Amino acid sequence: MKIGRYEAADGSGERLGVVLPDGHTLRVLDLGTAMRSRGRATGFQNTMDALMDAGEAGLDAANECVAWALREGDPAWFTAEADVPWMVPVRVRNCIAGGRNFGAHMAESLEYWKQRGVQAHTEIPMGFIKLASSMVPTRAVVHRPPETQWFDYEIEATAVIGRRIERASEKEALSAVFGYTILNDLSARELQRKEMQNQSILLGKNFPGLGPLGPWIITADEVPDPSVLELELTVNGEVRQQASCTDLIFGFPALVAHWSRMGLDRGDLVTTGSPEGVAISRKPDPAPFYLQPGDVVRATVHQIGTLETRIA
């Protein structure tokens, strides 16, 4: 199931929408309205938090309702996807963003640091915190921070944690994953480099809007092996990044297990990190590849959908 959160038309808050094919386009089913009309409303259909708390039984009931709505539902329950006012797909608690975790990106990024005598290793995953306050939904307009001209993109596949997990093994780790979504880890590179010289990353990744997230979640039952996820990012239609999660140094089981040592809970995100092709690593001159006002960035994970961001 592909499911997301959107703003109710009457301003009353969050609704859950199930994304369905409709010929060559997509339409979205109002899950709450459908379940109430079927007489099966139990409360979990109202928010993503409640649906995650309902576990497998909740997803089974939601899938049954979708099948019923497709057979017998009122067309008024459906909206064209392009008209849906999406929110970020989960109420984010923490986001642990991966770094240097695709083999090819590891190679391109380390060249700069090797020239400065910095040695990296792959004994454990690298990560940093992406603040929930930086996150915006698909089709958001993101303003380039005035502190940066080196404004960069990074597509990242992202696991959405659905329940508490602590010190899990790799075999156990994916049992806590509710589903997968997409993060575009926008970056102010001048600040990031200065921070990394002091062994930190924070402001360069966390200005308002630097965390486009969405467009929705594909539930984990539809992705039993997340290594098959395929990523592509375009800027104004030009392909800038293209990769498969088969190139990950640490796959999702290893990432979730590693970060579960500090405890993960519902609403936490664990990202893969970015593949190769970021602007800062372009040769001989990265300047033409940095994001500019007016650019349209589309981050696609082919099994999930496309996260669109406009730069201002």
pLDDT band for position 108 (50/70/90)? low
**C-alpha span between 114 and 120 (Å, rounded):** 9
Percent of the chain with pLDDT over 90: 86
Q: In Å, how far are 140, 215, 275 from 184, measured between CA atoms?
A: 12, 11, 11
Q: In Å, how far are 109, 170, 210, 231, 271 from 308, measured between CA atoms?
A: 25, 32, 13, 14, 18
Mean pLDDT for 37-64 is 90
Instruction: Give the per-residue pLDDT at 120.
Output: 73
pLDDT band for position 110 (50/70/90)? low
Mean pLDDT for 27-42 is 89
Question: What is the per-residue pLDDT across 73-98, written as a single tens digit (0 to 9) for each?
Answer: 899 999 999 999 999 999 999 999 99
Question: What is the per-residue pLDDT across 175-204, written as a single tens digit (0 to 9) for each?
Answer: 999 999 999 999 999 999 999 888 889 999
Burial 226-264 (b: 16+ CB within 10 A, else e): beebebbbbbeeeebbebebebbbbbbbbbbbbbbeeeb
Question: What is the per-residue pLDDT across 196-229, written as a single tens digit (0 to 9) for each?
Answer: 888 889 999 999 999 999 999 999 999 999 999 9
Nearest to 58 by CA among 41, 44, 39, 37: 44
Phi first, then psi, for residue 5 (nearest 5°) are -110, 140
pTM score of the predicted model = 0.95
What would the two tokens of residue 126 be?
Answer: 């690298």
Element (H, E) at 192: helix 189-197
* CATH 3.90.850.10 residue window(s) in the chain: 95-311
Q: Is the pLDDT of residue 42 over 90?
A: no
Give the torsion through C-alpha atoms of 289, 294, 295, 298, to 10 deg.
160
Helix and strand totals (H; E) in the chain: 7, 18
Query: Looking at the DSSP assignment, which residues form a beta bridge with residue 218?
Result: 2, 180
Instruction: Give the per-residue pLDDT at 45.
Output: 83
Percent of the chain with pLDDT over 70: 96
- What residue spans of 23-122 are helical by DSSP H? 31-38, 48-72, 103-114
SS3 56: helix
Domain 95-311 has CATH 3.90.850.10: yes
Q: Is the pLDDT of residue 248 over 70?
A: yes
